[in-house]
Chains A and B, each alone.
Chain A
Amino acid sequence: MDYPLIVDVFFVLLAILAVVSGWRVFCTDSMVRASFFLLVSFIAVGVIMILLAAEYLGVAMFFMMAVEMMVMAIFMVMFMMNPAGLNPMMMVHQHKFSIAAGAAVFVVLAAVALLAEFPDTPLPGDLDPVKSLGNELLGDSMLIFESAGIVLLTTMIGVVVLSSHRGRYGAAEEGSMPPGLVPGGDPAGMPEENDEGGGHHHCH
């Protein structure tokens, strides 16, 4: 293979960026920042894919990950009791278990990288990656991709329903309460009135 040296330089720089920003995800004290550090890491990987001549996949990575990380950040903010994600908070939990799991996964992946035999069939120079990807998506694997697509679409519609003015439990201006777990029961998901043990307190 002949390619200019600059490609190697860029690969090393991007790889470092991907790893460092991936590491920062666990050091930062904010949900939003963590999401976007992860996005930076993915973008670096996307550019590496473009360097590997997988142009479509690399570019698709940008927009997929941009939207995904954005939605992830918003969902985290919505479900955590941190107002608008503006307060600092610890982003790592269960330290011992996660360290062990991380180390184990690293060993496995490193072993795969070092020990596995990768195929070594050079591709024809005039191969059009977009075309071959299209054949793959709408050829033999069509059923898999289409069903995955429909699942994603349903998720999207679900998100819209959740975030729309007509909320999960009725219209916003009418005041909405979650339904009870048994018919006619108390609203689910609401804490008990006299919950002494939990350390909850009203902030208003």
Chain B
Amino acid sequence: MAVSWLSRLAAQATVPVFPVRGMHGEPVLHRLALAAGIELVDSPRHASILLVAGGVPPDQHDALRRVHDQLPTPFATLWYRSEPLDELAGATRVDDPDALPEALKTIHRELMSGKRGSSPRLLPDEPPNPWEGLGDDGHGGEGMMGGVPYGRPMAMNMTDDIRDGLTLDSLTVTLGPFLPMLPPGLTAEVTLQGDLIQSWTTHSAPYPIALESAFFQALQGPVPIAELERARARYHLKRLHFGLRLAGLERLALEALRLAFEPHPGQNRVMALRRRLVRSGFFRLTTTGRGRLDENQARRVGGIAARAAGLEEDWRSGDEGYRHLNFRPLTQREGDTAARWHQTLAEIEQALQLAGQAERDAVHTRRSDGVETPRGPWGEYRPEDASGVLEELLPGLEWDEAMSTLASLDLAPLSPWSLEETSEAPVPTSVEERRA
């Protein structure tokens, strides 16, 4: 009796969902962030439902299984525009973004009432790295260096220490591809000393991101600038949402996201958002002037990162239509994390201002041999994966600095499909194919 009373109460709880961000899964997660009664949590341990949003390439299915098995029972899985793993063939699949919040709530209720059993464990419950210590205490052998207990060698890295000469206490781990702080799909091997990143090796690139179809149409012929610029503002507002949420400003993060979902967001509301950000201390408290890109790196990343580092590179300056609107690229000088956020906010305002102006005068783009995407110029080539800069950029940063730097950078390659077509886009089978 008491138990059923408890589970009835538990069924009414806000549904904690751990999202696995697969390919092109991001848009639906933005909708869920605004839905009442659903909480997107950061750790699989804190969730009751594993939501796989978007396709996961087969070579990362093992990682997906590991995340799946980390959810404490009772839990269930829900697959959004994604093929369930073979072992979970009976799992619920939902492809309609509008039906998703209700489906999540129903599954949670069914789990709590016992109508739905918990998802089975997929991997054997054994240590991923066997006990390979020498002797009773694991560190036998000469100089306490024998044995590799639990796959963790005693640290004897004679690499140059980048902090204070203490070379000993270092820990090497593999991060990704579903760690919520990293771009979806990115995996990296990281050596840490305390919370200081000593080395960062990117193993697989982030999943490609899809843009709205306006950018694709701009490559076919003239499109209304108002439409293009609003799409740009929406894209950046969603990135801002991620950055602000990471910085612990949930309220303003949601404000940015709500703006992104409005058909005609006002420029003054973005200015108000910027003022509130400055007043809350976002720029002074959460950035430390680190994460600075030099000219080469900035050029490799392109887009906002390049202009935040002072490069006046913008495809729009060469377009007659934009020149008609007196477009001039904005730049920052510093090129660090704070400068990139300043640049992002400034470009959102600029985009909305251009959109308003272009709408009045019904201005269209003139050039169609290329377009300035939010991710950088797309002329002859699509903007490609730029996660290579992380290997130079992140070592020497503390964890928090590294994560806020990552949030301020947009490194993923662009998808050849537009946002509207992504439901039909195939999932590549391996890392190599994604690189190609």
Chain A contacts to B: CB under 8 angstroms: 29, 77-90, 162-163, 167-169, 172-173, 175-178, 189-191, 198-204
With CB as the reference atom, state the residue of chain A lying closest to B146.
A199
Which residues of the other chain, B, contact A87 by a CB distance below 8 angstroms?
133, 138-139, 149-150, 152, 154
- Contact between A175 and B160 (Cβ–Cβ < 8 Å)? yes
Determine if A203 and B290 form an interchain contact, defined as CB atoms under 8 angstroms apart: no
Knowing A88-B133, A204-B157 touch, does A176 contact B145 (C-beta < 8 A)? no
* Alpha-carbon distance A201/B155, docked complex (angstroms): 10
Tell me whether chain A's interface is mostly helix, strand or loop, or mixed. Answer: loop
Residue of A83, A88, A168, A200 touching B145 (CB-CB under 8 A)? A200
A-B contact pairs, 16 of them (CB 8 A): A78-B166, A83-B171, A83-B172, A88-B138, A88-B149, A89-B139, A163-B164, A169-B164, A172-B196, A176-B164, A189-B165, A190-B158, A198-B143, A200-B143, A200-B156, A203-B157
Closest Cβ of chain B: how far from A46's Cβ, in Å? 30
Given A162-B164, A202-B157, A203-B156, residue A78 in contact with residue B143 (CB < 8 A) = no
Whether the Cβ atoms of A89 and B165 lie closer than 8 Å is no
Name the A residues within 8 Å of B172 (CB-CB): 83, 204
A83 and B154 contacting across the interface, CB-CB below 8 Å: yes
Q: Which residue of chain B is the closest to A90 with respect to CB atoms?
A: B137
B169 touches A77 (CB 8 A): yes
CA distance A88 to B133 in the complex (A): 9
> Nearest 6 pairs between A and B by C-beta?
A167-B164, A199-B142, A83-B171, A90-B137, A173-B396, A88-B138
Taking CB atoms and an 8 Å cut-off, the chain B residues in 116-167 that contact chain A are 133, 136-139, 141-145, 149-150, 152-166
* Closest A residue to B396 using CB positions: A173
> CB < 8 Å: which of A163, A169, A191 contacts B165?
A169
* Complex Cα–Cα for A97 and B271 (A): 73
* B148 → chain A closest CB, angstroms: 9
CB pair A201–B196 under 8 Å, yes or no, is no
Chain A residues within 8 Å of B63, by CB: none
Q: Per-position contact with A for B159-189: 1 when CB-CB < 8 Å, else 0? A: 1111111101111100000000000000000
Q: Please determine whether B158 and A81 come into contact, CB atoms closer than 8 angstroms.
A: no
Interface residues on B, range: 35 or more
CA distance A98 to B290 in the complex (A): 49
How distant is the Cα of A8 from the Cα of B168 in the complex, in angstroms? 48
CB distance A81 to B168 under 8 Å?
Answer: yes
Q: What string of 1s and 0s marks CB contacts (under 8 Å) between B276-287 and chain A?
A: 000000000000
Inter-chain pairs besides A88-B149, A200-B143, 15 sampled, C-beta below 8 Å: A29-B138, A78-B166, A78-B169, A80-B168, A81-B155, A81-B156, A82-B169, A84-B171, A89-B144, A168-B164, A169-B164, A172-B162, A190-B158, A200-B145, A201-B156
**Also in contact, A81 and B149, with CB within 8 A (given A176-B162, A176-B165):** no
CA distance A173 to B149 in the complex (A): 32
B-chain residues with CB within 8 Å of residue A84 when the two chains form the complex: 169, 171
Give complex CA distance A78, B191 in Å.
15
Complex interface: chain A residues within 8 A of B136 (CB): 90
- Scoring B136, B144, B169 by chain A CB atoms within 10 A of each residue's CB, the highest score goes to B169
Q: In the complex, how many angstroms separate the beta carbon of A148 from the nearest chain B beta carbon? A: 28
- A172 CB contacts on chain B under 8 angstroms: 162-164, 196, 396
Residues 388-407 of chain B, each 1 if its beta carbon lies under 8 Å from chain A, else 0: 00000000110000000000
The answer to whether B152 and A83 have CB atoms under 8 Å apart is yes
Q: How far apart are the CA atoms of A201 and B156 in the complex, in Å?
A: 7
A83–B170 CB distance below 8 A: yes
- Distance of A189 Cα from B160 Cα, bound (Å): 11
Question: How far apart sit A82 and B133, CA to CA, in the bound complex (Å)?
Answer: 13
User: Which residues of the other chain, A, contact B170 by a CB distance below 8 angstroms?
Assistant: 83
Give min CB distance, B145 to chain A, whole Å.
6
Q: A176 touching B161 by the CB < 8 A rule?
A: yes
Query: Are B165 and A90 touching (Cβ within 8 A)?
Result: no
**Whole-angstrom distance between the alpha carbons of A122 and B259 in the complex?**
77
Give complex CA distance A163, B163 in Å: 9
Shortest distance between the CB of B400 and any CB in chain A (Å): 13
Task: Please name all residues of chain B whose beta carbon is closer than 8 Å to the beta carbon of A178 when the two chains form the complex.
Answer: 165
Q: Which B residues are CB-close (under 8 A) to A204?
A: 157, 159, 172, 191
Cα A173 to Cα B395 in complex, Å, equals: 8
Chain B residue contacts of A169, Cβ below 8 A? 164-165
Q: Which residue of B lies closest to A167 (CB)?
A: B164
Taken together as a complex, chains A and B put the C-alpha atoms of A177 and B166 apart, in Å, by: 10
- Which of A82, A175, A190, A201 has the largest number of chain B CB atoms within 10 A? A82
Contacts of B133 in A (CB 8 A): 87-88
A202 to chain B: which residues have CB within 8 Å? 156-158
Which of A85, A88, A176 has the largest number of chain B CB atoms within 10 A?
A: A88
Contact A83 B155 (CB under 8 A): yes
Q: Which residues of B contact A198 (CB under 8 A)?
A: 143
Bound state CA distance, A173 and B163, in angstroms?
A: 7
Report Cα–Cα, A189/B155, bound state, in Å. 16
Cα(A203)–Cα(B189), bound, Å? 14
CA distance A89 to B156 in the complex (A): 15
Pick from A29, A83, A191, A203: contact of B137, CB under 8 Å: A29
Chain A contacts of B161 at CB under 8 A?
176
* Contact status B149-A78, CB under 8 Å: no
When C-beta atoms are compared, the residue in chain B nearest to A77 turns out to be B169
User: Which of chain A's residues have a CB closer than 8 A to the CB of B143?
Assistant: 198-200
Q: In the complex, which residues of chain B have a beta carbon less than 8 angstroms from the beta carbon of A86?
A: 152, 171
Q: B191's closest neighbor in chain A, by CB?
A: A204
Q: Which of B138, B141, B142, B158 contacts A89 (CB 8 A)?
A: B138
B-chain residues with CB within 8 Å of residue A79 when the two chains form the complex? 166, 168-169
